[in-house]
């Protein structure tokens, strides 16, 4: 009987160790997160991705980049998304109002600026927003779906220019398409975020919109309530707020809000 007691204890200990190991494996199972993010965040988030994945090897990040309005509609219609990173507060707030995002799991993370760009080497003489009356074609994002387009239209309205340039506008599906139109000389000028203009060697910034001509350009991010991986989504949400991530955002021209 005495010989059986140590054997019994050993079996129990092995069993407990096995349970602990199984719990650890279960908690660290491989997970894929889907992040719907504004197109203007593409370069910064692609830099953040390997840093996060190196620290969290069981989590893979999949980005779905596009216009914030289109992404918001996809989430409203039930698209399987874990986090939403918007270029406009109204699109984000709509999901909060609809109960798709818990307000306590959302934060205004970074800001941006709106700029007027022309192709490198252009000699049309556009040096300010007011000069757009001399352009034949200009491009902005579709205001109803693309926040940058919404800010662009608002700026032109506040400068009392919208009526003069509306017929010249070539609408784009997102801010990156506006940039492409300018880079390829399909239009003579475009209005984009400063962060997009800075990454292109084919365009020149000629003017920056004054802050009082448009609503503040703020990028909120939050966890989707019905995320299939809430724990991992929360981990990436917090990672986006650390200094490493903020430094990367600022490298690409975004402004910290704190």
Residue 151, annotated ligand binder? Answer: no
Contacts of residue 147, Cβ cutoff 8 Å, sequence gap at least 6: 38, 67, 68, 69, 86, 87, 88, 91, 141, 217
DSSP 26-71: HHT--EEEEEEEEGGGHHHHHHHHHHHHHH-TTEEEEEEEE-HHHH
Residue 171, annotated ligand binder? Answer: no
Residue 193, annotated ligand binder? Answer: yes
Residue 40, annotated ligand binder? Answer: yes
Q: Can you tell me whether residue 140 is helix, strand or coil?
A: strand
How far apart, in whole angstroms, are the C-alpha atoms of residue 32 and residue 70?
A: 22
How far apart, in whole angstroms, are the C-alpha atoms of residue 153 and residue 256?
A: 25
How far apart, in whole angstroms, are the C-alpha atoms of residue 197 and residue 253?
A: 10
Residue 200, annotated ligand binder? Answer: no
Question: C-alpha distances in angstroms, 20 versus 11, 14, 113, 128?
Answer: 14, 10, 51, 65
- Binding residue numbers: 40, 68, 148, 175, 193
Binding residues for molybdate: 40, 68, 148, 175, 193
């Amino acid at each position: 009987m005495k010989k059986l007691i140590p054997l019994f204890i050993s079996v129990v200990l092995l069993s407990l160790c096995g349970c602990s190991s199984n719990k650890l494996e279960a908690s660290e199972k491989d997970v894929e997160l889907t992040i719907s993010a504004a197109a203007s965040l593409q370069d910064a988030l692609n830099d953040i991705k390997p840093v996060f994945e190196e620290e969290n090897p069981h989590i893979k990040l999949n980005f779905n980049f596009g216009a914030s309005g289109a992404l918001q509609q996809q989430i409203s219609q039930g698209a399987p998304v874990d986090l939403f990173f918007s270029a406009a507060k109204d699109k984000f707030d709509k999901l909060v109002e609809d109960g798709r995002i818990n307000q306590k799991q959302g934060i205004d993370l970074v800001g941006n600026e709106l700029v007027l760009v022309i192709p490198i080497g252009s000699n049309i003489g556009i040096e300010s927003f007011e000069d757009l009356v001399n352009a034949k074609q200009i491009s902005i994002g579709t205001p109803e779906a693309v926040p940058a387009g919404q800010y662009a239209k608002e700026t032109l309205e506040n400068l009392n220019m919208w009526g003069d340039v509306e017929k010249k506008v070539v609408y784009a599906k997102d801010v990156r398409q506006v940039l492409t139109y300018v880079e390829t000389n399909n239009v003579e000028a475009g209005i984009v975020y400063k962060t997009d203009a800075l990454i292109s060697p084919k365009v020149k910034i000629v003017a920056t919109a004054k802050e009082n001509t448009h609503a503040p350009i703020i990028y909120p991010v939050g966890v989707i309530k019905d995320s299939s991986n809430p724990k991992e989504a929360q981990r990436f949400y917090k990672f986006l707020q650390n200094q490493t991530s903020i430094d990367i955002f600022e490298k690409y021209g975004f402004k910290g809000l704190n």
